[in-house]
Amino acid sequence: MTTHRINQRQRAGIIGVMTSFAMVIFVALGMLACDAPESESTAQAVQASGETQEFTLRGYMDGYVGVGGEIDGEKNPTLQVNAGDEVTLHFINGENMPHDIAMKGHGIESEMLMRPDEETTISFTAESDDVYYCTVPGHEQAGMIGDLQVQTVGDSSGEPQARLE
């Protein structure tokens, strides 16, 4: 009788391959992002909407977890806002490890939190789609990354989009 159980050594090998693969994807995406022409939304100033959108995220090595509201309990929740909204991200460290939160495209970075339950906040005006992530080397790859979806109101290139509530 044959067994399909994977032993520890094989498992480690598979995880190693998957990790390498994930790293290649991240590098490739990074290169694409650098090559991409500047999008319209970043090239032109975004009108402030006067709205404020607040989110709270608790950070762990394997990802951020939403706290409160629609994202409560969700891992690496997609944060949805409208272009021009003032976005405030409250970040809480979930464990005894250094973590922070930064916006890749908007170029905003929080202070580094070292201890559990320490809190910090970043604020910025939403311009275009972005990702939030932890700047500690390896943490983004370990899972500390999520999307910021920025809806452009009355996008001139297509159908007017409904404003998110």
Quick one: which of 46, 108, 136, 145 contacts Cu ion (CB under 5 A)? 136
Residue 139 found at the interface with Cu ion (CB under 5 A): yes
C-beta separation of 88 from 121 below 8 A: yes
C-beta separation of 84 from 48 below 8 A: yes
**What's the token pair of residue 36?**
């991409």
Residue 134 found at the interface with Cu ion (CB under 5 A): yes
Q: Which is nearer to Cu ion, 98 or 105 (CB)?
A: 98
Quick one: which of 67, 81, 94, 99 contacts Cu ion (CB under 5 A)? 99
Report the alpha-carbon distance of residue 77 to residue 34 in Å, rounded. Answer: 25
Which residue from 123, 120, 81 is spatially nearest to 103, judged by alpha carbons? 123
Binding mask 31-60 for Cu ion (x = CB under 5 A): ------------------------------
Least Å from the CB of residue 44 to Cu ion: 33
Least Å from the CB of residue 91 to Cu ion: 10
Report the alpha-carbon distance of residue 68 to residue 77 in Å, rounded. Answer: 12
Q: Which residues bind Cu ion (CB under 5 A)?
A: 99, 134, 136, 139, 144
